[in-house]
């Protein structure tokens, strides 16, 4: 048998398995020694190759990092100036919600890259607004006070907007430490919402100094603190759900007051207290109505209020306005009905609940006549007929801005098919808004000064031609301003038609509004789905 060193070593490294099998066996001692030498050399060569491979892998990783950094620097987002990027961050972080699992918006932005972190840390405003829900956190979770302190520190001297929810475990060390961090920064409080008076009292007891900057306060439920005017001497707006109308010292410089979730007598007691505040211009009533006992509830006059916003949950809330309020300086009135479903049709029980205020429509008109200075009216989801709304409008001769969101009602459409039609924005509604000819002096003109009109109506059975006719009669181009007109000219018209189904098509008659748009009238017409999805069709002016 030939010794192995006489055979080509190519067989050992050959990919051909047959060449390997032809090597001589058994091996002699000399052959084994020779193979050992070749094995050592091959292992050394392998180590050299692996070293080169490791260097190449490391070099490739470095090149990949370099490429990534170059691409990152060349990305269009890096062309955004720091000031604009900071402004975008502020828009994204106006509401940081602390959660034990999910980071808040500001923390997420600060972790994207080095530049974003620098911008985030140098923008105090994005850290100045946050919400703490104590119920979401384990009482032994030490992270909460640390996160709150980080936000307070990073906000620097910015005014703080804080919302505190859930007055549970207020005596637990973790909650106490969190409240202590917030209380130490009370001199920077600007906008604060607290779920209860109990939680407010606990925080205010920890105050290092009074909340001199506190301008907006919301207490969801409880009693108004008796020393509020002392603690927050510069308070401008107050939003509260009182349990009683207990007397207290009013904030003398208050400009806006919102009362929510209480009986009529409780609300009247508060309003009587604030009726003497001459700076109070805006009043909000949310779910205020009904009566806690049988005693007579008096009327109250708010002589300085110019803006009234009412959110009604049932007919009693609506009755409260004109049964108990006198607002001689009222200029802007907003009335909306809270809806709990996306389906904009109230059921039978709700219809019956609202009949009471319909029966008092004449009283409502008396209220509006006493506030004839109203120049802006917003009505949303009110279960009122076109006749009722026309009656309201006839009492507002100085109205300039009108916005109506039609609730809709189930109707039998063409072929007996059920559809949702308009109950307020109807052909009769447009007809009453259309001015009569100057020769017809006996027909009263409704809202003769109307300038800005916004209508959210149902697309089904919508009378587009009646709308176009009314707008045409109320539009006076600049070339015709010298002529005698029975009404003032419209300045803007916005129409939103809400329908169902995947395909939404605007009525062809609305194309006639193009002519008025060309003459200078601001016109915007859009169609949208019930689910508030993106418009399928639009015509912007």
Angstrom distance (rounded) from CA 513 to CA 528: 19
Let me know: does 277 contact 304? Beta carbons within 8 Å. Answer: yes
Can you give the pLDDT at residue 341? 39
pLDDT of 410 > 80? The answer is no
Return the beta strands (E) in 295-424 as ranges. Answer: 300-301, 307-312, 325-326, 332-337, 376-380, 401-405, 409-412, 418-421
372 vs 153: CA distance, rounded Å = 51
| 3-class DSSP assignment, residue 508 | helix
pLDDT, tens digit (0-9, with 9 covering 90-100), for 456-505 = 998 888 999 999 999 999 998 876 554 545 678 899 999 999 887 666 78
269 neighbors 243 (Cβ within 8 angstroms): no
pLDDT score of 535: 41
Distance (Å, whole) CA 403 – CA 89: 33
Q: Are 479 and 521 in contact (CB under 8 A)?
A: no
Cα-atom radius of gyration of the chain, to the nearest Å?
Answer: 37
Q: Does the pLDDT value for residue 348 go beyond 60? A: no
Q: So what's the pLDDT on residue 18?
A: 64
Coil/strand/helix, residue 502? coil
What confidence tens digit (pLDDT) does each residue in 136-161 have? 888 778 899 999 999 999 999 999 99
> Highest mean pLDDT range out of 49-53, 130-134, 295-299, 347-351?
49-53
> Which H or E run contains 193?
strand 189-194
Query: pLDDT, tens digit, for every residue of 215-227?
Result: 999 988 777 777 7
> CA 224, CA 267: separation in Å to the nearest integer?
12
Pairing between strand 409-412 and 452-458? unpaired
- Distance of alpha carbon 108 from alpha carbon 120, whole angstroms: 10
**How many Å apart are CA 298 and CA 185, to the nearest integer?**
42
Q: Tens of pLDDT along 353-398?
A: 455 555 565 666 667 666 678 999 999 988 878 888 888 888 888 9
Q: Model confidence over 238-282: pLDDT tens digits? A: 999 887 766 567 788 999 999 998 888 888 888 988 998 999 999
For residue 231, the tally of other CB atoms under 10 A from its CB is 18
Q: Write down the pLDDT at residue 281.
A: 96
Does the pLDDT of residue 172 top 60, yes or no?
yes
Give the pLDDT of residue 339: 66
**pTM of the predicted structure, to 2 decimals:** 0.78
């Amino acid at each position: 048998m030939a010794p192995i060193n006489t055979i080509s070593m190519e067989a050992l490294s050959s990919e051909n398995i047959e060449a390997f099998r032809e090597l001589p066996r058994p091996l002699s001692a000399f052959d084994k020694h020779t193979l050992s030498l070749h094995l050592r050399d091959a292992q050394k060569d392998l180590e050299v190759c692996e070293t080169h491979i490791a260097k190449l892998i490391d070099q490739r990783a470095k090149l990949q990092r370099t490429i990534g950094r170059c691409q990152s620097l060349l990305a269009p987002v890096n062309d955004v100036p720091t000031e604009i990027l900071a402004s975008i961050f502020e828009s994204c972080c106006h509401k940081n919600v602390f959660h034990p699992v999910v980071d808040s918006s500001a923390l997420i932005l600060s972790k994207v890259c080095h530049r974003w972190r620098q911008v985030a840390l140098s923008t105090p405003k994005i850290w100045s607004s946050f919400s703490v829900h104590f119920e979401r956190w384990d009482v032994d979770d030490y992270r909460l006070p640390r996160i709150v302190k980080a936000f307070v520190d990073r906000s620097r001297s910015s005014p703080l907007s804080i919302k505190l929810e859930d007055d549970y475990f207020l005596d637990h060390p973790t909650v106490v430490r969190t409240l202590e961090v917030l209380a130490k920064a009370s001199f920077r409080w600007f906008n604060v919402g607290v779920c209860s008076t109990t939680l407010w009292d606990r925080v205010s007891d920890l105050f290092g100094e009074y909340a001199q900057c506190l301008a907006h306060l919301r207490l969801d439920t409880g009693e108004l603190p008796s020393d509020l005017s002392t603690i927050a001497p510069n308070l401008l707006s107050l939003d509260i759900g009182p349990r009683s109308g207990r007397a207290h010292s009013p904030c003398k410089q208050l400009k806006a007051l919102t009362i929510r979730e209480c009986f009529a007598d409780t609300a009247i007691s508060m309003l009587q207290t604030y009726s003497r505040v001459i700076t109070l211009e805006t009043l909000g009533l949310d779910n205020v109505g009904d009566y806690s006992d049988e005693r007579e509830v008096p009327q109250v006059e708010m002589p300085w209020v110019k803006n009234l916003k009412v959110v009604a949950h049932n007919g009693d809330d609506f009755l409260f306005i004109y049964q108990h309020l006198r607002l001689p300086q009222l200029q802007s009135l907003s009335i909306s009905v809270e809806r709990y479903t996306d389906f904009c049709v109230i059921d039978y029980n709700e219809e019956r609940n609202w009949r009471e205020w319909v029966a008092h429509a004449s009283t409502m008109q008396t209220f509006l006549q006493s506030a004839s200075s109203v120049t802006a009216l917003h009505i949303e989801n009110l279960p009122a007929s076109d006749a009722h709304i026309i009656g309201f409008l006839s009492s507002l001769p100085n109205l300039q801005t009108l916005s109506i969101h039609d609730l809709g009602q189930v109707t039998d459409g063409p072929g007996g098919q059920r559809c949702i039609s308009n109950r307020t924005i109807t052909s009769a509604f447009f007809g009453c808004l259309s001015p009569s000819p100057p020769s017809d002096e006996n027909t009263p003109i409704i809202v003769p000064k109307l300038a800005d009109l916004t209508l959210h109506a149902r697309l089904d059975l919508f009378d587009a031609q009646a709308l176009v006719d009314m707008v045409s009669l109320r539009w006076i181009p600049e070339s015709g301003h010298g002529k005698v007109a029975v009404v003032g000219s419209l300045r803007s018209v916005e129409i939103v038609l809400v329908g169902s189904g995947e395909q939404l098509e605007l009525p062809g008659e609305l194309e006639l509004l193009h002519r008025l748009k060309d003459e200078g009238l601001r016109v915007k017409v859009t169609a949208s789905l019930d689910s508030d999805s993106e418009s399928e069709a639009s015509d912007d002016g």
